[in-house]
Amino acid sequence: MRKSADTIVWDSKLRTARGSLFERLVADEEELAPPHGADLVESKVNSIKRHLVKLLNTRAGASAATPDLGLVDFNISNVETNDLTQHIAASIRQCIEEYEPRVRVKAVQFMPEPDRPLNLLFKIILIMPARDRGEQVQIDILMKDGRVAQIV
């Protein structure tokens, strides 16, 4: 934030709701007002969704410093087809639990789509601390070609 006479130091909860360090730096540079109330929760959920896209599109082994960061490449996996969705769900859960500290994973479920058998849709239920209590958030992840194509 640029220094001025009416600059107010943000509460740390409001600052972290902005998202990652880089998102907060951009908000400071652009002098954006901090989110409040419902906007605070929505801002935090959107930040988590952006992070999950990056996190779940990372391949395990791609980072030398943290080789387990990201999802295993299931195209080269030796898992049988009928167990594949269970392994993907377990990998998603492990990845989020390990690398997204702002939430606690309650469930990761595969949601089959009979009309589109090549799409892999997973429903993730997260508990996110918000407004002095745990807020339950559902995020749907659509995977295509081994990558997260869309998060809803």
CB atoms within 10 A of CB 123: 15
State whether 57 and 118 are in the same domain.
Answer: yes
Provide the mean pLDDT of the chain. Answer: 78
The residue with greater pLDDT, 141 or 145, is 141
State whether 78 and 134 are in the same domain.
Answer: yes
Answer whether 27's CB lies under 8 Å from 38's CB: no
Could you tell me the sign of the dihedral formed by the alpha carbons of 72, 73, 75, 77, in that order?
A: negative
SS3 of the chain: the string is CCCCCCCCCCCHHHHHHCCCHHHHHHHHHCCCCCCCCHHHHHHHHHHHHHHHHHHHCCECCCCCCCCCCCECCCCCCCCCHHHHHHHHHHHHHHHHHHHCCCCEEEEEEECCCCCCCCCEEEEEEEEEEECCEEEEEEEEEEEECCEEEEEC
Going by pLDDT thresholds of 50, 70 and 90, the confidence category of residue 8 is: very low
Query: What does the pLDDT average to over 24-36?
Result: 59
Whether residue 40 lies inside any domain: the answer is no
Whether residue 6 lies inside any domain: the answer is yes
Q: Is the pLDDT of residue 115 over 80?
A: yes
Whether residue 44 lies inside any domain: the answer is no
* Residue range(s) defining the domain that contains residue 19: 1-34
Going by pLDDT thresholds of 50, 70 and 90, the confidence category of residue 150 is: confident
State whether 69 and 10 are in the same domain.
Answer: no
Query: What does the pLDDT average to over 70-84?
Result: 70
Q: Is the pLDDT of residue 12 over 60?
A: no
State whether 72 and 131 are in the same domain.
Answer: yes
The angle at the Cα of 129, spanning 127 to 132, to the nearest 5 degrees, equals: 135
pTM of the entire structure? 0.73
**pLDDT confidence of residue 9:** 45
State whether 146 and 84 are in the same domain.
Answer: yes
**pLDDT confidence of residue 135:** 86
**pLDDT confidence of residue 36:** 58
Weakest-pLDDT range from 29-38, 40-49, 96-105, 119-128: 29-38
